[in-house]
């Protein structure tokens, strides 16, 4: 089983796409989700996201991601329901009411966030971090230190998650019950774990910085990489389709 945001080798069309094209299409897809409130279009985009995940064999991680984003968006949806009284009155509240428009807006928020997140996360599952960094530097001429910082941040997320999991397992072996009690108790148990995680994070970051310095990090330029990232016909088609999707979302947003 692959870790969170860990590259999964494959030969699918998404795997073979230009890294810059993948990033641009994912950003355009997410932008389209935020440019419209049309629930039908958002639902269609959500289905497209799952179809893309299925095309590269990433259905299970995508479902896990969708659950996590759903849990986060559900909090925002509840706040939206309680603070935006619109539509026909369903429930009276001391400060307003819950209406049909409130529920529709909350549902739109949930579908929008889940649909926007899927392509962005798929990019990191089907693309090597080195390819993302080098392609962005070579094609978009982004300074290497900025591209390296971004991809390193993404790279360290699963590393820190694994460290936290190891610390929790060590504490569980010592008799700490993380599953017992309510939310407040669980939060109190998690606080002491931040210290060893912080120490481990500082050590790993320092080691990575020293390794980068020894390998000539400050001397790296756009021409330092040997690998080229040409655009294929499908990359161009995907970019055009992504731009058209954004235009469609904007038009529907203005009409709606």
Compute φ and ψ for 94, nearest 5 degrees.
Answer: -60, -30
The ranges assigned to domains in the chain are 13-134+230-255, 142-219
What is the chain's length?
A: 256
Given its phi and psi angles, is residue 57 left (phi above 0), alpha (psi -120 to 50 degrees) or beta?
A: left
pLDDT at residue 1 in the model:
45
Are 37 and 157 in contact by the 8 Å Cβ rule? The answer is no
Q: Alpha helices of the chain — where are they, by DSSP H?
A: 13-16, 19-34, 39-55, 59-83, 100-125, 129-140, 144-173, 183-190, 194-214, 233-255
Predicted pLDDT of residue 183: 66
pLDDT digits over 134-191, tens only?
888 888 888 877 877 777 777 777 777 777 778 777 777 777 676 666 666 666 777 7
Question: Is residue 194 a contact partner of residue 168, using CB atoms and an 8 Å limit?
Answer: no
| Residue owning tokens 């504490």 | 171
The parts of the chain modelled with pLDDT lower than 70 are 1-5, 176, 178-187, 217-226, 256
Give the number of other Cβ atoms within 10 Å of residue 98's Cβ: 19
DSSP secondary structure, 197-210, as one string: HHHHHHHHHHHHHH
99, 171, 191, 201, 218 from 162: Cα distances, Å: 43, 14, 17, 11, 30
Q: How far apart are CA 167 and CA 174, in angstroms?
A: 11
Residue 98 β-bridge partners? 91
For position 244, what pLDDT does the model report?
93
Record the tokens describing residue 29, joined without a space: 């897809």
And the tokens for 26?
A: 């994912």
Query: Is the overall model pTM greater than 0.95, yes or no?
Result: no
Residue 178 confidence (pLDDT): 66
């Amino acid at each position: 089983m692959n870790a969170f945001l860990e590259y999964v080798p494959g030969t699918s069309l998404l795997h073979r796409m230009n890294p810059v094209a993948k990033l641009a299409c994912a950003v355009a897809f997410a932008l389209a989700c935020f440019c419209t409130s049309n629930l039908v279009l958002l639902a269609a985009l959500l289905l497209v996201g799952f179809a893309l995940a299925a095309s590269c064999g990433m259905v299970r991680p995508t479902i896990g991601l969708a659950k996590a984003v759903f849990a986060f968006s559900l909090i925002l949806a509840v706040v939206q329901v309680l603070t935006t009284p619109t539509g026909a009155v369903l429930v009276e509240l001391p400060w307003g009411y819950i209406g049909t428009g409130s529920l529709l807006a909350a549902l739109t928020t949930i579908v929008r966030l889940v649909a926007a997140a899927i392509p962005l996360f798929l990019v990191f599952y089907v693309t090597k971090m080195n390819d993302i960094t080098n392609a962005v530097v070579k094609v978009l001429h982004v300074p290497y230190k900025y591209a390296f910082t971004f991809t390193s941040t993404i790279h360290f997320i699963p590393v820190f998650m694994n460290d936290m999991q190891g610390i929790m397992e060590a504490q569980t072996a010592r008799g700490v019950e993380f599953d017992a009690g309510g939310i407040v108790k669980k939060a109190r148990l998690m606080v002491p774990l931040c210290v060893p995680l912080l120490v481990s994070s500082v050590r790993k970051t320092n080691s990575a910085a020293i390794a980068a310095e020894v390998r000539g990090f400050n001397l790296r330029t756009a021409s330092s990489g040997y690998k080229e990232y040409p655009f294929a016909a499908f990359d161009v088609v995907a970019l055009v389709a992504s731009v058209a999707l954004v235009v469609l979302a904007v038009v529907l947003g203005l009409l709606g």
